[in-house]
């Protein structure tokens, strides 16, 4: 049995299947972990979702911001300029795919391998137990019958820079933002939701994983994540592995075998996956 983790697929179905063929992925005995953003910007979001769903327990997929954006559109939010989600929303099996998507986690942990997977990041103010609690509350909200209200609130929200106090409705949205949109924050847990490349814009900010004290680290182990194509592969940090190597932007799709150390990386150039403009 082998366990592979992959970065943002974003509808690049053909590259995904080609990469899995390269490593001889066998869903009868292997497992594929997807670090979110399974859909959007690429050409084949529908095929990607259908394939991942068909893998059953052989696929472990956490939600990313583009996956939640698909749920937003299903809840009535307008499309954005570069979205490629109509193929999913107009498919005969759309309801089943959305139901499957709503029941994906936002955080996956494997204690035996001492690995955790999220789409974007964790707060430097969270212990691992707190991170798990925050993720679970978001998961439950998306699995409820009124999940569309959660998605509508998410679409219209201005994310708080700091975690709101207990009882504040924005606390759920803050947790969603941290897990699916994080890039820069300071040690005190103040997030910068506007900086989205690689340059630090505000004094005290660092990439979320580079702060001196990270209380989640001891229990979370190595954190696998995607979301940050501008940063590319992040393989120089002992406690994180960044896997978004920009497939949909003409970069690579990267697969990491994570049930061994050191991790074994396999990359595929995705020049055929430039997004629909």
Euclidean distance between CA atoms 11 and 17, whole angstroms: 11
Kindly tell me if the per-residue pLDDT of 273 is higher than 80.
Answer: no
3-state class percentages of the chain: helix first, strand second, coil last, to nearest 5: 35, 15, 50
Res. 80 pLDDT band, cuts 50 70 90: confident
User: What predicted TM-score, i.e. pTM, was given to this entire model?
Assistant: 0.95
The parent domain of residue 12 ranges over 3-273
Angle CA 139–6–16, to nearest 5 = 110
pLDDT given at position 14: 94
pLDDT given at position 272: 58
Express each pLDDT in 205-259 by its tens digit.
Answer: 999 999 999 999 999 999 999 999 999 999 999 899 999 999 998 899 999 999 9
Kindly tell me if the per-residue pLDDT of 194 is higher than 90.
Answer: no
pLDDT given at position 277: 46
Give the Cβ contact number of residue 212 at 10 Å.
7
Domain count for the chain: 1
Express each pLDDT in 141-159 by its tens digit.
Answer: 999 999 999 998 887 778 9
pLDDT given at position 275: 52
- CA torsion 144-148-153-155 (nearest 10°) is 130
CATH number at residue 127: 3.60.21.10
What is residue 121's DSSP assignment? -
Express each pLDDT in 14-56 by its tens digit.
Answer: 999 999 999 999 999 999 999 999 999 999 999 999 999 999 9
Kindly tell me if the per-residue pLDDT of 276 is higher than 70.
Answer: no
Euclidean distance between CA atoms 120 and 223, whole angstroms: 10
E-state strands within 7-130: 31-34, 59-61, 108-110, 115-117
Percent of the chain predicted with pLDDT > 90? 86
Res. 7 pLDDT band, cuts 50 70 90: very high
């Amino acid at each position: 049995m082998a366990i592979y983790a992959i970065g943002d697929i974003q509808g690049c179905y053909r590259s995904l299947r080609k990469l899995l063929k390269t490593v001889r992925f066998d869903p009868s005995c292997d497992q594929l972990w997807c670090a979110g953003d399974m859909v959007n910007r690429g050409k084949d979001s529908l095929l990607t979702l259908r394939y991942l769903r068909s893998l059953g327990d052989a696929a472990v997929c956490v939600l990313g911001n583009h996956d939640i954006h698909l749920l937003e559109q299903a809840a009535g939010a307008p499309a954005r300029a570069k979205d490629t989600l109509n193929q999913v929303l107009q498919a005969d099996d759309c309801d089943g795919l959305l139901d499957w998507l709503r029941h994906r986690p936002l955080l996956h942990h494997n204690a035996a391998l001492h690995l955790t997977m999220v789409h974007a990041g964790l707060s430097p103010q969270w212990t691992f137990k707190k991170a798990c609690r925050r993720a679970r509350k978001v998961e439950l909200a998306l699995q409820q019958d009124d999940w569309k209200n959660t998605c509508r609130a998410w679409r219209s929200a201005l994310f708080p820079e700091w975690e709101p106090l207990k009882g504040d409705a924005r606390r759920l949205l803050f947790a969603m933002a941290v897990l699916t949109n994080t890039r820069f924050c300071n040690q005190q847990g103040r997030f910068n939701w506007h900086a989205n490349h690689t340059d630090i814009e505000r004094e005290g900010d660092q990439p979320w994983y580079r702060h001196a004290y990270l209380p989640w680290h001891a229990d979370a182990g190595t954190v696998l994540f995607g979301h940050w194509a501008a940063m590319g592969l992040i393989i120089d940090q002992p406690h994180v592995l960044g896997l978004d190597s920009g497939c949909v932007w003409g970069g690579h799709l990267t697969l990491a075998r994570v049930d061994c150390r050191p991790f074994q990386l396999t990359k595929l150039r995705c020049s055929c996956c430039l997004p629909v403009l």
